Structure 1
Amino acid sequence: MESTRKITRIVCLLIFLAGTGGKVEAQSASGRKPNVIFIMADDHAYQAVSAYSKALIQTPNIDRIGREGALMRKAFVTNSVCSPSRAVILTGKYSHLNGQRDNGTYFDGKQQTLPKIFKQHGYQTALVGKWHLFSQPTGFDYWNILPDQGHYYNPAFINMGKDTTYTGYVTDVTTDLALDWIERNRDNPFFIMLHHKAPHRNWMPPLKYLQDFNDRQFPLPHDFYDDYAGRVALQRQLISMKEGLDIRYDSKVPCDTCAITKVNSWAPAEFQREMERLTPAERRTWDDAYRSSYKAFAAIKDKDQRLRWQYQRFMEDYLRCVRSVDDNIGRVLAYLDDKGLSENTIVVYMSDQGVYLGEHGLYDKRFMYEESFRTPMLIRYPKGIPQRRQIDDYALNLDVAPTLLDLAGITVPGDMQGVSMKTLLQKGKDKNWRKSVYYHYYEKSFGATAHYGIRTERYKLMYFYDPVQAWELYDLKKDPHEMHNVYNDAAYAATVKELQQQLKVLQAQYKDPVP
């Protein structure tokens, strides 16, 4: 009799397992692993997220992530340029260990990465959008990526190795592809990296926003005319708005008579290629929207007036692109709400690095100065993170991988150099948290200088070593905009000595050989 009951229970269990596909843990209300959506924009300045500052734009959907979770007020990157930052996020290791020191190097996909670990623990994994690591993605069940930088209009993608072109605007298309994949895989725990091209140069907005911000006059940053006194690395850079912006490619003005500079000799032809991607109907809408800009530029005679005009054009197009990113974040959040997935889904929004919006007269990134060194970072997980957390401790892109694994209940590999922010996110503080940040940038493109440095609550010390050699020190309490290099000021001699020692400690900790 007892054996009959056992057989009956086994048969019932087998019938149940067959009906659930054997995914008991995945379907259990209490045991289901959290889904993860990691959303990253390219060159989205924290200054252009209203959760950080309301001076430039309202970003209600991005803000919602922080409002319903945590806002990292002091998030930084370890190497402020696209490919290296992405590699750091994937591996949880500094550039010198993951091998991706600069743009243009092929990422070693054989190494341990975040998606591979999630996949090993039963997750469906996907990557959609900007990859910019040149080698073929690994660790993903599905990937559909933009080649190189990608295009804003009617973009080409590489779908699991197959060249594909989609109709539409790249931010919308990327979101469409991501949501389609989630819809097909939402019955299992999933991890997806949703990587937007926007708002990266050349800042081509969607048609519906081409005339937004036309009524705004953006004030110049107070340091727009920075003369770079006492800072030799800034004196040789080629990313200033004064010298680096191209009338055609950046300001969207077709001009056959405008000078072609050494800095942007490639820009006119690239602008033409971008415009050829627009359909005839899209081109008519584009020209109608920008006609007043063409006329305004034609009337400019003074160089400084042209610089100021280009700054306004840059800000208009940049923020139009940001507005589209925010719209699409809203689409993702609305989808999660509609499908009942919000409660058990971790959503991260950040940029691969910050960017200058005219500060120091610049428009790019690369340097350890605050605007490119710092990045927006917002994290929501209703089941695991209290709402409205505002965290002032130092977070790094290095911490993303260990944090997501820890929140998902997965053991963090011991060789990851980042630290899980789980305690910080859940309790709002962690007594053992870092008190300083280490940075190392290697590239010499666009006139940049390789450098490394340390940031503490009050000071930032940097050493530029290739192709020029120079130290810079900033007292962030007295000089938050980093205008005055006080390295050679005798009053700071003891501070320099102490920071240089701390720098050596960090380099040893992260196993970074001193150049």
Structure 2
Amino acid sequence: MSKIYQLYIFIFFAILPFAYGGKIYGSSKEKPNIIWIFSDDHSYQTIGAYGGRFAYLNPTPNIDRLAHEGMRFDRCYVENSICAPSRATLLTGKFSHVHGKYLNQSSIKFDHNQQQFQKLLQQHGYQTAMIGKIHLDGKMQGFDYWDVLPGQGKYYDPEFINESGKYDTRGYVTDIIVDKALDWIKNKRDKSKPFMLMIHQKAPHRTWIPAKRHMSKYADVVLPESDNLFDDYASRTTAAYEQKMSIDKDMTLERDLKLEEGNGVPDGMYDNRQEWFENNKPEGEELVRWKYQSYMKDFLRCVWGVDENVGRVLDFLEESGLGDNTVVFYSSDQGFYNGEHGWFDKRFMYEESFRTPLLARWPDHIKPGSVNMDLVQNIDFAETFLDLAGVDIPGDMQGCSLVPLLQGETPEDWRESLYYHYYEYPGAHSVRKHEGVSGKRFKLIRFYGNDTPDDEEWELYDLKKDSAEMNNLYDNPEYTQTVQHMKEELNRLKEKYKVKE
């Protein structure tokens, strides 16, 4: 080969990226489609690919496909474990105190006029759509198509709202949302453009009403209990005692466990349960165990409906030929307590609600069956979507793109700790305000604001030795230096993220 020819080859490959605007994915036709499937309160504990005590039931065969064919993130977390703030963080790539929606309560409005990732995608040639639950009042912006549930939405015959206003539908909400999503992909989008589609499920949010077709699932199964279903909070602060999310005391027989007609439940769905309870009238620990079994069976049945519909999306992508150039994510707005510490709901910084599932499939880019152990947070999602699309990430976003991690490369300066802050007190479930820092091994939590701003309590956990977070080490003299280090790290992150209480 002549030197001149070698020079031509070198110059060709050197300028090739710039011929496509300097973007890694080349022309707009080569940019990947993005599908973001988002459920509400879906715990990693009830996803088969994450293992755990429910894995033997194979509750999520289709979600597990994303793990087998792509990547499972084992340390993905939220910055505020509650629905509306988490969704605002998803859209903005910012912490709750920055985007402003730090409470679920309607008194705190989300400012739709602020910067959001979908607006930037739209400006750079993407078709954008939001379908399902968003839990942010007001007219959506930056979406070519949006069709969402008002507020929490209903499981059966739900209302939807879009540009034209509110209207009724018939059927089961999990199925309807995916019907709408597939209809948009097939019939309503501009097929000359890449697309970003957000499919947001209501399930498995309280009150856990399954599709009728799934009511027989787990009927003859005794579900395994969490080891700390009867946690006595012996080493914890007063926050753990004072919460109102206990299966024992706060889960209602009538609404949550369907011992009363109505509340959005079709007639006759729970006749057998109502008859059994009336005949047996369990009490004490027997009642707690019965409540746990009944709740968790409904939760898993709702999950089964979500999983079926993930399968519908994946099957369509394969059949249509769109799968090869489409990145598919599955996640939840936060985790959930499935009996751990005797609880349901979320809010606390303990692992089960702080941590959320995240799985991703991207053919020819993500190694099938790969597992990522880096510290990832929901402030990273918006940046990831922009990076996938080849769009510059604004400097005021607070997270980092996950694209390098998806491709198996962890940047040298990747984070070593995470900041968390929960604000909604007084409020539903009476979980005290708290903030904290979590690293790869230790977690420090500061509870505050119960009576006065100076009224604070602290907890420290060694996640390596105590993954269930049962033993508060804050007052243990052997961990004095660890406490000091974690407090310094907490202050560093608060300064970095410009946190104001």
Establish whether TM, by shorter chain, passes 0.5.
yes
- Whether the 8 Å CA contact 1:389–1:428 is kept in 2: the answer is no
Q: Does 1:189 align with 2:187?
A: no
C-alpha contact (below 8 Å) 2:38/2:201 kept by paired residues: yes
1:504 to 491, 494, 501: 491
Query: Quick one: distance in 2 between partners of 1:408 and 1:506?
Result: 29
Which letter does structure 2 place at the counterpart of 1:158? I
Q: Aligned AA for 1:360? A: H
Match of 2:85 in 1: 84
SS of 1:167's partner is coil
- How many residue pairs get aligned? The number is 463
Give the letter aligned to residue 361 of structure 1: G
Q: Which 5+ residue runs of structure 1 have no aligned equivalent? A: 1-24, 255-270
Determine the structure 2 residue equivalent to 1:223: 228
1:251 corresponds to which residue? 257
Distance 2:461 2:375 in 1: 18
| Residues in 2 aligned to 1:228 and 1:501: alpha-carbon distance in whole angstroms | 27
Letter of the 2:471 counterpart = H
Deviation at 1:349, TM superposition (A): 0.4
Residue pairs, 1:283-432, within 5 angstroms: 283-284=267-268, 286-287=269-270, 290-432=271-413
Q: What amino acid does structure 1 have at the position aligned with 2:42?
A: H
Relative to structure 1, the CA distance from residue 301 to residue 324 in structure 2 (aligned partners, 3 Å threshold; closer, same or farther) is closer
Counterparts of 1:429 and 1:293, CA distance in 2: 53
Per-residue CA deviation, residues 431-466 of structure 1 (Å, 9 max, x unaligned), is: 221111111111112111111101111111000112
Tell me the residue number matched to 1:55: 53
Most deviating of 422-431 and 346-355: 422-431
- 2:245 is aligned to 239
- Aligned match of 1:175 in 168, 173, 178? 178
- 300-309 or 162-171, which deviates more: 300-309
Query: Are positions 1:459 and 2:442 aligned together?
Result: yes
Q: Secondary structure at the match of 2:405?
A: helix
- In structure 2, how many angstroms separate the alpha carbons of the residues matched to 1:161 and 1:103? 26
Q: Quote the offset at 1:304 in angstroms.
A: 2.1
> How far apart, in 2, do the equivalents of 1:291 and 1:427 lie?
50
Q: Which residue of 1 aligns with 2:480?
A: 493
Is residue 209 of structure 1 aligned with residue 214 of structure 2?
yes
Q: CA deviation at 1:272?
A: 2.5
Structure 1 CA distance for aligned equivalents of residues 364 and 152 of structure 2: 36
Distance (whole Å) between structure 2 residues aligned to residue 63 and residue 298 of structure 1: 40
In 2, the alpha carbon distance for the partners of 1:469 and 1:298 equals 47
The counterpart of 1:44, out of the listed 33, 42, 45, is: 42
TM-score by length of 2: 0.90
Q: Does 1:119 align with 2:122?
A: yes
- The separation in 2 between residues aligned to 1:457 and 1:435, in whole angstroms, is 7
Is 1:153 aligned to residue 153 of structure 2? no
- Displacement of 1:389 in angstroms is 1.7
User: Does structure 2 conserve the Cα–Cα contact (< 8 Å) formed by 1:354 and 1:376?
Assistant: yes
- Distance in structure 1 (CA, Å) of the matches to 2:74 and 2:190: 32
Which whole-Å CA distance do the structure 1 matches of 2:319 and 2:113 have between them? 38
Output one character per residue of 1:5-42: Cα deviation in whole Å (capped at 9) or x when no partner: xxxxxxxxxxxxxxxxxxxx9xx998432111111000
Q: Give the AA of the match of 2:421.
A: H
How far the C-alpha of 1:221 sits from its partner, in A, is 1.0
Query: 8 Å contact 1:43–1:200 — kept in the other structure?
Result: yes
Q: Which residue type is aligned with residue 298 of structure 1?
A: N
What letter is aligned with 1:222?
D
What does residue 433 of structure 1 align with?
Answer: 414
Please say if 1:199 is aligned against 2:204.
Answer: yes
- Please report how far the alpha carbon of residue 125 of structure 1 lies from its aligned counterpart in structure 2 after TM superposition: 1.0
What is the distance in 1 between the residues matched to 2:182 and 2:190?
A: 10
- In structure 2, C-alpha distance between the alignment counterparts of 1:356 and 1:134, rounded to whole Å: 26
Describe the superposition over 1:31-72 as per-residue Cα deviations: whole angstroms up to 9, x where unpaired. 432111111000000000001015314211111112211111
Q: 8 Å contact 1:389–1:425 — kept in the other structure?
A: no
Q: Is 2:161–2:167's contact at 8 Å kept on the other side of the alignment?
A: yes
Find the residue that maps to 2:102 and give its secondary structure.
coil
Q: Distance in 2 between matches of 1:342 and 1:301?
A: 51
- Fraction of identical pairs, as percent: 45
Shift of 1:162: 1.5
Cα offset for 1:155? 0.8
8 Å CA contact 2:121–2:389 kept in 1: the answer is no
What does 1:133-148 align with in structure 2 at a 5 Å threshold? Answer: 133-148=136-151
Letter in 1 for 2:388: L
For residue 243 of structure 1, report the CA deviation from its aligned partner: 1.0
User: What's the TM-score once normalised by structure 1's chain length?
Assistant: 0.87
